[in-house]
Chain A
Amino acid sequence: MPFFIVFLLTPIGVAVALYRRNPRRFVDGPTEDEPLRLLRWAVSLLSPQRAEWGQAMLGELGHLDGRPQRMRFALGCTGAALIMPPWGRAAAVLWAAIGITAASLTIHAGMTVHYQLGVGDWIALVVVLLICAGYLLGASALLRRPGVALPGLLGGLFATVVGLGLSGFTAVDQVTFIPRPWQQWVTVIAVPAAIGAAGTLWRRDPAAGRRVARLAALSAGLLRLLYATVAAAILGGGGPPDQDGGFTVRGTVSDRLVSNIVDLVVSTFIIAMVGWAAAALAGYLVRRPPTPATPECETA
């Protein structure tokens, strides 16, 4: 049931929220072309000290004609904006995320070599590498938003600790855990919703809450991947599934590594989507109606 809600109902909720935000866009299409939208997004990532340079890029784009030329210029500027210092504390957090990801991928690659896994497992390694690169890119953009890093990372840590608390912390727990229905409600609905709502309430801004939920999803995904990969390395070909028979060591290891990738994608998607919806809902609920102007004669 919780999975049904997330995978079917949450996208509908997100579509409704997007429609409510700007109904004309669904009828008329986007009012700006892709290069301008891309560059606006990239410029919004720049630190306040570099805001003038962002306006310089936008000003230059405004004088370029021709879609390919504009797109090339916007892509280049986006790359520059993504890496342009100063990053402040976000740099330290990103380096920590890179370290966690590198550790996971190194262990994964080491197991692929050690157990002499097949071509499919090397493809899986490339897939997880690309997914992690996308996660780091997304995290780097979110980390540069003011006030998102700390609540986002705390949210990711919270989701990871709750997930491990329910499954158990040992390596065997990571491969044998089958959640009960109430545990599914906790991990799939309650925790992501709490993260999104807390992000909105923390920053008093639903947009910030949605970013907090996305950063929490990415950081929880990377933390869970490291934990699960270490567990798979500790167990090797051993552990409970081996007792069922019919599994080779290589098959068992391969199965666990691929399961980790699926879990990475699914858990990230769930936290991001449910957190997104909860942040938007919290913003709607706590939104204060504008105070009507009181005539002076009544206040006197």
Chain B
Amino acid sequence: MPRLGQRVPLDGKGYMSRVNVVQRNRPPSPQTVKVLRALAAEPARWRYGYDLGTEVDLKSGSLYPILVRLADRGLLETSWEPSADSRPPRHLYRLTGAGREFVAALTAARGERTAARPRRRVSEA
């Protein structure tokens, strides 16, 4: 494992510092967390986009970019529901295995943070 700032070779394509190798790991937004939790509530069930948006109270303009990002990160699995009548087929969503692990890790991290910062009682303040 290279040290922070150490230059590492890149298959004859020059060097790059370890700072650049580390993948950006931005914490998910509160809206993304809501979507993840809604999907994790019934992880085996395929969900429709509109129903999911209604459940987490997100407009389509916010929901779809979130779904796209989750799918790009491999946390979301998508499928198509064949149309029964003249209506177009619908897109379905559910968490992948990695997505479920991510939600579990998210919940655990939140629990640790809550435990590390216990609320002070009024009498202690």
Contact = CB atoms under 8 A, between A and B. Distances in A.
A106 interface: no
Contacts, number: 62
B68 A50 contact: yes
B48 A53 contact: no
Contact of A72 (B49, B59, B63, B80): B59
B31 interface: no
A50 B60 CA distance: 16
B87 A80 contact: no
A60 B65 contact: no
Contacts of B110: none
A181 to B, nearest CB: 50
A295 interface: no
Interface residues of A, number: 22
B89 interface: yes
A56 interface: yes
B78 to A, nearest CB: 8
Nearest to B61: A76
Interface in A74-120: 75-80, 83-84
A60 B90 contact: yes
> What is the interface of chain A mostly: helix, strand, loop, or mixed?
helix
Interface in B40-83: 48-50, 59-65, 67-68, 78, 80
Contacts of B7: none
A59 B90 contact: yes
B87 A63 contact: yes
Nearest to A75: B61
A68 interface: no
A60 B61 contact: no
B58 to A, nearest CB: 9
Interface in B65-115: 65, 67-68, 78, 80, 87-91
B62 A76 contact: yes
A57 interface: yes
A56 B60 contact: no
A84 B65 contact: yes
A62 B65 contact: no
Given A63-B50, A76-B59, A57 B64 contact: yes
A73 interface: yes
A73 B62 CA distance: 11
Given A76-B60, A76-B61, A77-B61, A58 B88 contact: yes
A72 B61 CA distance: 9
A64 B68 CA distance: 21
B50 A60 contact: yes
A259 interface: no
A73 B68 contact: no
Contacts of A64: 50
Contacts of B64: 53, 56-57, 76-77, 80, 84
A128 to B, nearest CB: 28
A84 B60 contact: no
Contacts of A75: 61
B26 to A, nearest CB: 15
Contacts of B63: 76
6 tightest Cβ-Cβ pairs between the two chains A and B: A76-B61, A56-B91, A76-B60, A79-B61, A62-B88, A59-B88
Interface of B: 48-50, 59-65, 67-68, 78, 80, 87-91
